[in-house]
Amino acid sequence: MHVRIVFALLALALIRPAFPARKSRHNSSNPANDGTDPVAVASRVWNGVRSGDRQRRFIFVMQANDAMAPMINNWLCNTRHMDGVHERMVLVMSDARGYDTMHGNAGGVAVAQLGSTIPELQTSQPYGSYGYWKLTEFRVQTLHDMVVAGISFLNIEPDAVWTRNPLYDNELIAAAMRHDIVILSDVDHTTGRFMLAAGFMLVHSNTKTVSLFRMLQSSVRAGIQAMGRHDYGDNVGTAEAAAEQVILQGLLTKGESDVAYSPLNRCTYASGQWYDPANVQLRETCLVRHGPPIVINNNWIVGNDAKVDRSKQWGHWFVNGDGRCDDSLLARAVTSGMLPPVTSR
């Protein structure tokens, strides 16, 4: 049977469980959950998580800036019918303008501001600038402090599309029962190099992960110090010595940590390579064996505008021109939105 016919049958079968009828939730904002201390905000959300089983007792953490606000709002529309997601979410904005933009958001998601008091870091920083790497240090510090505070979290990205609720994914929850960290995996199709990606990473807070994040924090800080002194706007380029994902992968895979980790299935939790029109075999194999991905991360592309354009081209943009959520677009993301635009029409 032709792979597209098989895919169509799979997709139709998945539409109903992808958006299950859950209890209605109040979508107004709750400013009492907001604040300028990410750990304090996360603690309030963490204390509200009532799940009795360890593998589901975690919050969602998203770190972003004001330039990403359109993608954040799109993700809020994407996930607004997914039970338990917005309620256990903490959005950490790196800049004051971003905090003001997202404070009081329509999804009722708790908002915090990154703990930097440096004026130059209260605005967005371009990739490769010294300011970008300093913000990386603060972002790692935030996750470190949450783990130390006993908060388990799933670190997520604002540019991703979710077709189903990960809280009810048996693969993710089963892996979380046996491991300290469950993390997105990827393969660079140009080099064949295996990679781990912290953009979708479930971390259980325990003595092993506390030790891991202390090493990660120390290594990132050392890598930035090795750059020397710069103005925040100076371009220092791609600095793997300070890149948290590169450092984290080394700590996990080279025996420098006793943390038990599990890479997620690349088909079920896909990277932005899913969007590459040339990856026909990857997509068709995944669709036949696993159905549409639960999450597609919109990476492997540079620039927020380019990410937004690609999301719109694939039918993964759920915000109307008037800024309101369009639920009719959600079902399409699980059907025609899994194949390149030219072949999905």
pLDDT in tens, 169-186: 999 999 999 999 999 999
* Cα dihedral sign, 167-200-302-345: negative
Q: How confident is the model at residue 25 (pLDDT cuts 50, 70, 90)?
A: very low
pLDDT at 241 over 60: yes
Predicted pLDDT at 18: 38
Closest CA to 184 of 87, 278, 256, 249: 249
- pLDDT for residue 28 is more than 50: no
* CATH code of residue 68: 3.90.550.10
Identify the band that residue 143 occupies on the pLDDT scale cut at 50, 70 and 90.
very high
Q: Assess whether pLDDT exceeds 60 at residue 6.
A: no
321 has pLDDT over 90: no
Please tell me the predicted confidence (pLDDT) of residue 36: 83
> Average per-residue pLDDT in the chain?
87
Q: Is residue 345 part of a domain?
A: no
Q: What's the pLDDT at 188?
A: 81
Q: How confident is the model at residue 2 (pLDDT cuts 50, 70, 90)?
A: very low
The pLDDT, as a whole number, for residue 190 is 77
Is residue 210 included in any domain, yes or no?
yes
**Looking at the 3D structure of the chain, how many domains does it have?**
1
Mean pLDDT of 92-110: 93
Which pair of structure tokens corresponds to residue 171? 């693969």
Of 43-52, 89-98, 144-153, where does the model show the most confidence?
144-153
b/e code 161-191 from CB counts within 10 Å (16+ = b): bbbbbbbebebbbebbeebbbbbbbbeeeee
Per-residue confidence at 45, pLDDT binned at 50, 70, 90? very high
Q: Which residue has the higher pLDDT, 154 or 29?
A: 154
Does residue 122 surpass a pLDDT of 70?
Answer: yes
pLDDT at 30: 56
- Domain hosting 325: range is 3-340
pLDDT digits (tens, 9 = 90+) for 186-211: 988 778 889 999 999 999 999 999 99
- Tell me, what's the pLDDT at 341? 84
Q: Identify the band that residue 7 occupies on the pLDDT scale cut at 50, 70 and 90.
A: very low
Domain membership of residue 56 (yes or no) is yes
What's the pTM? Answer: 0.88
